[in-house]
Amino acid sequence: MCTCATYKTKDHYFGRNLDLEFSYQESVTVTPRNFPIPFRTKETLTHHYALIGMAFVCSGFPLYYDATNEFGLSMAGLNFPGNGFFGEPEADGKDNISPFEFIPWILGQCKNLSEAKTLLGNIRLVNIPFSSQLPITPLHWMIADQNGCIVVESVRDGLHIYDNPVGVMTNNPTFDIQLFRLNDYRGVSAAASENTFAKGLDLDAYSRGMGGIGIPGDLSSGSRFVKVAFTKMNSVSDDSEDSSVSQFFHILGSVEQQRGCCDLGDGKYEITIYSSCCNMDRGIYYYRTYDNSQISAVDMHRENLDGSSLASYPLITKQQIRQVN
């Protein structure tokens, strides 16, 4: 399970937690404009917009978990078990795109959310696995630019595109239900709550933070959606890069998973393998990992974006501790 979010100060930010029990040896990967991106039912994109994001590079193909292109359009795929459905390709003029190639298909060709919506109008997400060893994963996606955010879900009755006014996403249930459930928490507040329990009954605010009583704190996807939406929409930082990036990681940290708290059996535990934050305006991809809380960064504009070869940077997973005495 995972969590995705946007954030805005002076610049715009997009990132996610990847929550799993194992790693695919993912790396921060820059795909330059002239790297050929092949598609299973469409022609190879030999020239496209440059991308940066987290990917598992398999047989030379960047399987992106999340990415941002050179114009700031950003996209992440999150697990959607039991709901994600991908049919068979059809020859009806629509673009038959597999989930594993969906991110480069959109980000390679679209500068903004408006162009992405146009491309989505002619797309069918289909059941074509990357390989027999890497079958289709049920996913849904959040797509955002500097001005808006949507969620894309392919389910049995078709492709659904939702406007996302809170700029966050988790996993199940479907996004419309997740968004509706926020109504259950309309009374919570970042400020101290008023005593409305009963007239004449004197009740004390014995602790700070009591305005948020009722916000769930468990690790289920529905609870994480509520918690990260509340945290993100009430977050305050100055507009410097350091403060903005730091605050973004605190937002994701409000729903990160610690080893031992989500027991999958057989000695396996779901953890937050990495958290990411990409400055959508500058193309700088920041991340930290479960065992390394130091923030590392890769700047796409320090690469040759007119090149034809991937640039991949393995994650720094060993804890970096600064000894001060």
Coil, helix or strand at residue 263: strand
**Residue 151 structure tokens:** 């969620």
Catalytic choice (2, 4, 149, 277):
2
58 is catalytic: no
Return d(Cα 239, Cα 236) in angstroms, integer.
Answer: 9
Task: Reply yes or no: is the peptide bond before residue 32 cis, omega within 30 of 0.
Answer: no
Residue 238 · residue 10 · CB < 8 Å = no
Q: What is the 3-state secondary structure (H, E, C) of 90-145?
A: CCCCCEEECHHHHHHHHHCCCCCHHHHHHHHCCEEEECCCCCCCCCCCCEEEEEEC
**Residue 197 structure tokens:** 């329990």
Residue 95's nearest CA partner among 30, 18, 154, 16 is 154
- Indicate which residues carry an active-site annotation: 2
